[in-house]
A and B are shown apart, each in its own frame.
Chain A
Amino acid sequence: MNLISERLDIEEYEEAIELFYSKGWTDGLPVVLPTPRRVEALIAHVGREPQESLGPVPPKGGPATIEKLAVNAVMGGCRPEHFPVVLAAMEALMDPAHNLNGVSQTTHMCVSLIIVNGPIARELNFNSRDGVFGNGYRANAAVGRAVRLALWNLGGATPWDTDKATLSHPGEYAFCIAEEEEDNPWAPLHVDRGCPPGSDAVTVFACEGPHSVFCYGTPEEMLHVLADSMCSLGNNNMHVMGQMLVTLNPINAEEFHRRGWSKEDVRQYLWEHARRPIGDVRACGVVHEQFRKMEQDAGRYPLRYDLVNPTTRVPVTREPKDIHMVVAGGRSYFASVLPGWGGFGGFAVTRQIRRPGGR
């Protein structure tokens, strides 16, 4: 196999681990050492040309070749069968609609979440249930970290240089979940977004970490607390809209379904009720106002609202479809809300996963 990466020959395991630190090639955690044999196994699994590039990774523009992505995927802990998911996630991230350049460099804390859908999620043991945003599952951790390491090493998005996040969040190490599709009465996210039922896909969406929502009871009670949690004045959506993610646990979804609420009904209700009077929003200050004006000038903030009247209630997204909904987590009391970057970017992009052999 024609691999062109620089080769390092080091005798001692400890010395090799430390070399990756000293070169700045790791995110702060130790890596799996990318031996040619491991890297070749990933590339052979997907059957793609090692020097095929998915494009330049912003902000610094290192080409995302299959070879370099495989090196970073090995470092993140991926096995060959994880690699098609990594490639689909990278393709989604590099779609201009996601504005990865902005996501990687903004002062906001958003990080691109990877959501895995389809039979591949169960086959590879991605977690979609208890502790879905947490630790304990190799597939979530390895795919999530592989992508982050690719952005680190190929894009050069490091916190002492181009990554200007004021706070960021722990998802910078790995931020990957799967949707629960079996214990779920509704169509999954990727089907909502146009993929065929039964297909495998990833969706990326740049967002804050999950905010807990104590959500249990009748549909009306659940919607009441969800809507309130979504329209906090601290999130960007309240000022400049954009997109937002809501996760419901399987009991939440089951209860909505049992009482005749479709996912679209829930989405529409949340869009209509997760609102604040513009007077409240304005009270946050002139800088917030300036950002809103910039979005208006760019045509991303709708003109249909009377912003002069302080009682006008404004939503958190431009349209209901900009509230993404995923069923995930254990059967319990909690849902979550993940605000986005606002109207500036980080928007959801979905890509089907190309399985080896075209399945």
Chain B
Amino acid sequence: MEFLSPVWSSAMEGSSAKRRLRGLAGATVAIVDDNLDIPFTTRLEVLLAERAGATVRRLVKPSGTAPSPPALIDDAAQADVAVVGIGL
């Protein structure tokens, strides 16, 4: 019997990650701020800058529950590291 596959093999493959950094000192870190918990995210921003010595760029999504606009994703991709989600 012959059957057809229900998936796209290429679409399901993840994209490759950037090279892992040795440390955050001097690195540019993008925080994709999902606009859900502003005090928490602000605290993270301060810690990354003061404790880890990173240059932080905070990119605020218009909504925490809708996809990031493509321009915001492109912007975050320019950083050495991007924080794209925070679990509480």
Chain A residues with a Cβ under 8 A of chain B: 3, 5-11, 13, 16, 23, 25, 33-36, 39, 58, 60-63, 67-68, 71-72, 75, 99, 101-102, 106, 149, 153-154, 156, 290-291, 294, 297-298, 341, 344-345
Contact = CB atoms under 8 A, between A and B. Distances in A.
A298 B62 contact: yes
A34 B2 CA distance: 8
Residue with the greatest number of chain A CB neighbours at <10 A, chosen from B3, B63, B66: B3
A294 B1 contact: no
B37 interface: yes
A62 B1 contact: no
Interface string B40-74: 00000000000000000000001111110000000
B12 A6 contact: no
B17 interface: no
A67 B3 CA distance: 13
A344 B4 contact: no
B5 to A, nearest CB: 4
Contact of B6 (A63, A149, A297): A149
Contact of B8 (A58, A68, A106): A68
B22 to A, nearest CB: 29
Contacts, number: 95
B41 to A, nearest CB: 11
Does more than half of chain B's interface fall in helix, strand or loop, or is it mixed?
loop
B36 interface: yes
Contacts of B1: 9-11, 13, 16, 33, 35
A21 to B, nearest CB: 13
A297 B62 CA distance: 9
B64 A71 contact: no
7 contacts: A8-B2, A8-B3, A36-B3, A61-B11, A153-B6, A294-B64, A298-B62
B16 interface: no
Given A6-B9, A62-B11, A156-B12, A345 B65 contact: yes
A297 to B, nearest CB: 7
B35 interface: yes
Contacts of A71: 4-6
Nearest to B8: A62
B21 interface: no
A201 to B, nearest CB: 25
